[in-house]
Structure 1
Amino acid sequence: MEDRQFRNAMGKFATGVNVIATEVEGKVHGMTANAFMSVSLDPKLVVISIKEDASMLERIKQSQTFSVNVLSAEQQKESMIFAGQIEYDQEFKFDRLDGVPVVPNALAQISCEVSGEHVEGDHTLFMGRVTDVKLEEGEPLIFSCGKYRRLEEQQVETSV
């Protein structure tokens, strides 16, 4: 199968949009990602997947901390900034959660310490031990088939 066909198949799976952030030598770095999942409740663990040629890879290895920021439907601009899709002429202002940089107003801010890493294919999987979580109300930003989307409530029909 061709790479494009595989990529298109993976794009059929709708995902939330996240910004991964870390800090190295006093400078905060962020990147948009959708390769994120929860792994365990006890202990509280998540995993992110970073491509081997991404500059974020070495930064997370160096800092040994990262945050996952689940973006709201109103934060498409932030997603595009950290995906390099639009220029941002100011310094982005991050908040902090347990000392780790986080995106302000994200639906979920999750601070993590790296507890393991595993190279598979052209990506490194970073296991993160969750150190803190902050939640906000709102609807998530969704990405599917190469486009940003919003959730729509469905009416559930019941028959008696």
Structure 2
Amino acid sequence: MDDRQFRNAMGKFATGVTVVLTEVSGKVHGMTANAFMSVSLNPKLVVISIAEKAQMLKKIKQSGTFSVNILAAGQKELSMIFAGQLKEQRQVVFDYLGNIPVIPGAIAQIICEVSASHVEGDHTLFIGKVTNIQLEEELPLIYYSGKYRSLKEENG
């Protein structure tokens, strides 16, 4: 199989869209990611996967903390900003949960301390110990087969 076929196959898995944030020396750094999952309930752990070539890799190693912000259906533009898909610069306003930056209006803001990291292939997996969570009741932004999507609520 070639790289394109592998990417196409992985794109058949519908995912939510997250923005991972961290702060180093007073500056917020972020990236869009869909490589996120829960790992354990006790202790509460999640994992994110960051490419070795991504600038975020060094930033998370420096800070030792990050937030995972699960985006709401109306936050496609934020996803595109942090994925580098928009040419023009946009100002992004952050909130803080504790002292960790988060995306306002995200349906879940998950605060983590790095508890372990594992290099696998061309990515590093960061295991995050969840220290705080804030939730909103909105529909999620979905990514499937290379396109942004949204859920439709069923009536009845």
Shorter-normalised TM-score: what interval?
A: over 0.9
Say yes or no: does 1:47 pair with 2:47: yes
CA-CA distance at 1:93 after TM superposition:
1.2
In 2 relative to 1, CA 111–155 (structure 1 residues): closer, same or farther, beyond 3 Å? same
Match in the other structure for 1:16: 16
Residue in 1 that maps onto 2:75: 75
The answer to whether the Cα contact below 8 Å between 1:81 and 1:88 also exists between their aligned partners in 2 is: no
Which shows bigger deviation, 81-90 or 53-62?
A: 81-90
Q: Which residue of 1 aligns with 2:130?
A: 130
Q: Which stretches in structure 1 are left out of the alignment for 5+ residues? A: none
Matched residue, 1:26: 26
Name the residue aligned to 1:56.
Answer: 56
Q: Residue 150 of structure 1 aligns with which residue?
A: 150
For structure 1, which segment, 126-135 or 91-100, has the greater mean C-alpha deviation from structure 2 after superposition?
91-100
Q: TM-score w.r.t. structure 2 length?
A: 0.96
Distance across 2 between alignment mates of 1:12 and 1:91: 32
Task: Determine if contact 2:81/2:90 at 8 Å carries over to the other structure.
Answer: no
What are the superposed Cα offsets for residues 53-80 of structure 1, whole Å, 9 maximum, x if unpaired? 0000000000000000000000001000
Distance across 2 between alignment mates of 1:99 and 1:25: 13
Cα distance between partner residues in 2 of 1:115 and 1:107: 24
Q: Is the 8 A contact 2:38 2:45 kept in 1?
A: yes
Whole-angstrom CA distance in 2 between matches of 1:122 and 1:104: 31
Distance 1:75 1:69 in 2: 11
Matched residue of 1:81: which SS?
helix
Which residue identity is paired with 1:9? Answer: A
RMSD across aligned C-alpha pairs, in angstroms? 1.3
Q: Output the CA distance in 2 between the equivalents of 1:90 and 1:32.
A: 15
Contact 1:73 1:141 in 2 (8 A): yes
- Runs of 4+ with deviation above 3 angstroms: 87-91, 153-156
Question: Could you say which residue in structure 1 is the equivalent of 2:120?
Answer: 120
8 A contact 1:13–1:144 mirrored in 2: yes
State how far apart, in whole Å, the 1-side matches of 2:53 and 2:95 are: 27
Distance 1:111 1:88 in 2: 29
Separation in 1 of the partners of 2:117 and 2:9?
Answer: 26
Larger mean CA deviation between 81-90 and 97-106 belongs to 81-90
Identity of aligned residues (%): 67
